[in-house]
Structure 1
């Protein structure tokens, strides 16, 4: 779903501090540190020549850092500037972008080499042109994921024109960043231990490359209208302090509003269709399942569908430790059909305990009634007996009805802690005393 930008983006030269701060966000910082320390893996490959081991490890680090950098550019171009908002899945089209950029650079290098055979001046001009067009090459590659379009001078020039005169400023900043990386390396490396040199070298390169990726992504976002880029929900690098919702939360709220509008307009069938499709494609999405349940409650003719959905929705809520919400769903279904039941013993026991903790003794007792017959052999039967006895004794003052439960526990589960607990509950109510253990000889 595309989204319009919430406000006109500020020029990128007004936001330089945010680009330098991006790699220090928690997720990219942790990832950069892990990648940097991976350089120590070269010592593990002792069976290879040291130079070859270092080259292999460094290539792996370079590939991983480049892929994340392209991800930063691609999501930044669509208005997502916080790493915590990045989706976990990597778009398949982005996976091969480092290889495609390498292939594009290789072809461009051959072109410059060919010009050098003709004239050193032409080679110098060609190298300058390629350097000037490199940001446009990356932008076209990220936007199209096409090797051929990235080589096409027409697409590159269209990108330069879309950005306008700030493109020259972008090139200047990228040049300064690459120079800054070299200066930082020259200053830091001589002052550290040799075994730390490679991790520090990698970290500094990763840091500056991700700063440049953040800058490129924002420039694309700033010019998204001219570049024809669709923004993601929650896009807006300038006003995210005012709206701290993640893109997933914004998408959820938009879907809720759309369904609510259909219900307000009296189109419950349309709302049902929209909510159904959302929960069908995302069976583990609580927001989608809640939305569908709410709309089903508004359609009395969909009672069978409501009950069927609840049998899938309740286990999902229980897996997320949302027993109170699951109980509300069951109560709503029971109002429609008093015969509605939950077929999972653990869930039934959880609901009974929830009712007991809320002070509803009779409802708790109703949940465990007949449990041992419905769920024969269930491991929780002793716990159910104990809960039933506790409810009868402490909630309903019917110790007389709890005594037969103790008798069953003593007959079936004499060593169970639940038997001891019920015996203790009945200690002052005429219950049989616990048998004394034989004295040790």
Structure 2
């Protein structure tokens, strides 16, 4: 009796998750797999329970429509209103579940089929691994696919999600250093920044190996008011890439952030003096000298 009650409660709680897994994997077996359902609920967290509350309210809405029209319209109209409202609210319920599934597909390891641009036959095994919840196997299968289709950005996005999903820092580090420069080369700076931040969240020691991507990423981080993240990105650039031509521009940007946004003019002044000393005659020399003059003559 006790186990029956537990099963019933779990079934009710996981019913939306089951529908979402079925939509994402097209597998009845996966939709009934308790561990996959628990995994989906855990990854969505409070989003799932907010969705669940909305579904409960929508599920009872057709009864409310009937209650409002009771004794006010003929029985035939009442039945028609009940049928229409039931169908209408059911469509909304499934749309809500679909929206949550799409909105959080990066957490769940799903991606719309149309985005990949690859033949189903090439991705069949990869999709099967995803459907079975075998994310490590799916990641390795996708790694092999990317070797033959290195320019497919959507597959790169899916690989990045799987690295996060499986907590594979080593693969995330290697792939991030390949994917982010590719995004910058295609002027997808916003996505490159989001990917970089995502890599840092899983692996705080993540560093980019391509010096040319630092400046566009740092500029956008500043524009987004992610000042500490921008400073963290720039910090130590001259040690990792000695005498690189981007150093003066990056360090001028860092000085501006310290002075203007973080109210640390002393650190800004020290950075500018460092650039003047070790990078004389650089293209930013005039701007650096002007900015340094402002700092040195500022009151207080």
TM-score bucket of the superposed structures, by smaller chain: 0.5 to 0.7
Structure number, greater radius of gyration: 1
Larger RCO (alpha carbons 8 Å, 6+ apart): 1
In the alignment, structure 1 residue 359 sits paired with structure 2 residue 249: no
Contact 1:279–1:285 under 8 Å retained in 2 = yes
1:290 aligns with one of 151, 154, 157 = 157
Check whether the contact 2:164–2:202 (CA below 8 A) recurs between aligned residues: no
Distance in 2, matches of 1:397 and 1:374, equals 27
Partner of 1:275: 142
Q: Secondary structure at the match of 1:290?
A: helix
**Preserved CA contact (<8 Å) 2:143 2:159:** yes
Count of aligned positions: 185
What corresponds to 1:122 in structure 2?
none
Specify whether residues 270 and 413 from structure 1 end up closer, same or farther in structure 2 by C-alpha distance, changes over 3 A only. Answer: closer
Aligned to 2:9: none
Which of the numbers 364, 369, 376 marks the counterpart of 2:235? 369
- Separation in structure 1 between the aligned mates of residue 240 and residue 133 of structure 2, nearest angstrom: 42
State whether structure 2 residue 183 is matched by structure 1 residue 317.
Answer: yes
Q: 1:378: Cα distance to partner?
A: 0.6
Distance (whole Å) between structure 2 residues aligned to residue 319 and residue 343 of structure 1: 15
Alignment match, 2:70? none
**Gap runs ≥5 in structure 2:** 1-113
> Does residue 410 in structure 1 map to residue 276 in structure 2?
yes
What residue ranges of structure 1 are gaps of 5+ in the alignment? 1-247, 433-441
CA contact (8 A) 1:389 1:422 kept: no
- Does residue 394 of the first structure (1) align with residue 260 of the second (2)? yes
Rounded to whole Å, the distance in 1 between the matches of 2:294 and 2:276 is: 18
2:250 corresponds to 1:380: no
- Residues 264 and 316 of structure 1: CA distance in aligned 2, closer, same or farther (over 3 Å): same
CA gap of 1:419–1:249, structure 2 versus 1, over 3 A, is same
1:371/1:261 Cα in 2 relative to 1: closer, same or farther (>3 Å)?
Answer: same
The answer to which structure has the higher helix fraction is: 2
| 1:72-121, Cα deviation, whole Å (9 max, x unpaired) | xxxxxxxxxxxxxxxxxxxxxxxxxxxxxxxxxxxxxxxxxxxxxxxxxx
- Pick aligned residue for 1:350 from 216, 226, 235: 216
RMSD of Structure 2 on Structure 1 (CA): 3.1
Q: Deviations along 1:267-324, whole A, 9 cap, x unmatched?
A: 3245334423321211122122222222222212x33223222222222222222222
Correspondence for 1:120: none
Please give the alpha-carbon distance, in whole angstroms, between the structure 2 residues aligned to 1:274 and 1:408. 48
| Separation in structure 2 between the aligned mates of residue 429 and residue 325 of structure 1, nearest angstrom | 35
Q: TM-score, normalised by structure 1?
A: 0.37
